[in-house]
Structure 1
Amino acid sequence: MKTYKIEDLMVPLSEYATVTIGATLFEAILALETAQGEFDQTRYRHRAILVLNKAGEVVGKISQHTALKALEPQYQKMAAESSAAHYGFSVSFLKDLQEQYSLLDGALENICQKAAHTRVEDFMSRLGEGEFIEADASLNKAIHMLVMGHFQSLLVRKQGILIGVLRLTDVFAAVFHVMKSCN
């Protein structure tokens, strides 16, 4: 049975989509498109953009989910008011919320303007310590962190330096490969 290492599964930082603080949502989406086009087409495509500060350090992440939320400022306000807003609400209640707050009214009509004026630091997810894993950690630890943290990816460090991104899709593919080899 093959042994997988975090470094073998991760995407090197140099191959990942990045933007710096001050970039717009539009610039972030272009960076993602460029990274996807240059990435190994036999692997799953990138689904996130890393945000760097002026010193080149990763300070945040933008997922596809986060980018869509950025189109409607009310989503940020609602999330701040109720951190449990996504737990257990009915479809009809969520529809009522959309209508009551006029969520996304005109979002597609104004998408170019919003994308050009919305700065990444205003909506990016800030990184928590639980989103980092050491390059020499076990795959078991990575699985535990991804599952318990509900993360789509972990940032990989080696001797304190960020070297890559370990994505849930790549970990799943490795686990699936092990399952197939059992038969």
Structure 2
Amino acid sequence: MKSRSVKEMMVPLAEYASVQETATLLDAVKALRKAQAAFDQQRHRHRAILVIDEANHIIGKLSQHDVIEALEPNYKEMRNQTEEGSMHRLGLSDAFFKKTLEQYHLWEKALEGLCCKAADLKVKKMMYTPVKGEFVKESATMDEAIHRLIIGRHHSLLVTTDRDPSEIVGILRLSDVFEFVGDSVLECELPSDAA
């Protein structure tokens, strides 16, 4: 398997969808669609949006999950009554999910007036702020990057320069890493069975 660095695999920051922290969800969706259209069609489409502050520093990410969850405000109430982010990992039954859907009146009216909601929701209120383990240096090996992705269960890592860990130059996506691993598996030559 050919070894590659994170820098070779990352999507440069200039090619990734981004919006200002003051943007609306509508602005974010437009930016994502624009970046998807301009991106190399041989690669996986972007599925997240980076959020930048007024000094053009990345301060957050907005995933597909974040966007959809933000459209149903009752999830916030439900999360406040449970341990943050733990419900989906507990192996809860279908009956439990149905009961919470009914109890919290989830999605009863969430899809009504979607355009108005998207124009009112601010990105800063729904973005996710990356934690320390979601950054990787551009010179890091794929071994390190894969380890960070798997242990942290991240969909992407923010790539920093070697000289300044606060300077972000790209994003390493799990979809690209998966493709790299899959290509490497297919390159393996297994000895043929001697029959």
State whether TM-score is above 0.5: yes
Deviation of the 1:80 alpha carbon: 3.3
In the alignment, structure 1 residue 66 sits paired with structure 2 residue 69: no
> After the TM superposition, which of the residue ranges 33-42 and 98-107 deviates more from structure 2?
98-107
Matches within 5 A, 1:144-159: 144-158=147-161, 159=163
* 1:176 matched residue in structure 2: 182
| Contact preservation (8 Å) 2:28, 2:49 | yes
Distance 1:145 1:75 in 2: 28
Cα RMSD, aligned residues only? 1.0
Report if aligned partners of 1:156, 1:165 keep a CA contact under 8 Å in 2.
yes
Does the 8 Å CA contact 2:78/2:104 hold for their aligned counterparts? Answer: no
Rounded to whole Å, the distance in 2 between the matches of 1:76 and 1:130 is 25
Q: 125, 128, 139: which is aligned to 1:125?
A: 128
Runs of 4+ in 1 over 3 A off after TM superposition: none
**1:95-106 paired onto structure 2 within 5 Å:** 95-106=98-109
List aligned pairs for 1:6-85, cutoff 5 A: 6-82=6-82, 83=84, 84-85=86-87
Count of aligned positions:
183
> Percent same amino acid at aligned positions?
44
The one-letter code of the counterpart of 2:18 is T
> Aligned partners of 1:128, 1:79: CA distance in 2, in Å?
20
Aligned partners of 1:74 and 1:103 also within 8 Å: yes
The amino acid of 2:7's aligned partner reads E
Q: Which structure 1 segments of 5+ residues have no match?
A: none
**For each residue in 1:117-176, what CA deviation from the matched residue of structure 2 results, as whole angstroms up to 9, or x when unmatched?**
010111111111111000111111111100010100000001222100000011111111
Gaps of 5+ in 2: 190-195
Larger Rg: 2
TM-fit CA distance, 1:2: 1.7
Q: 1:88: how far off?
A: 1.7
Structure-2-length-normalised TM-score: 0.91
Letter in 1 for 2:156: S
Match of 2:140 in 1: 137
Code of the residue aligned with 1:162 in structure 2: it is I
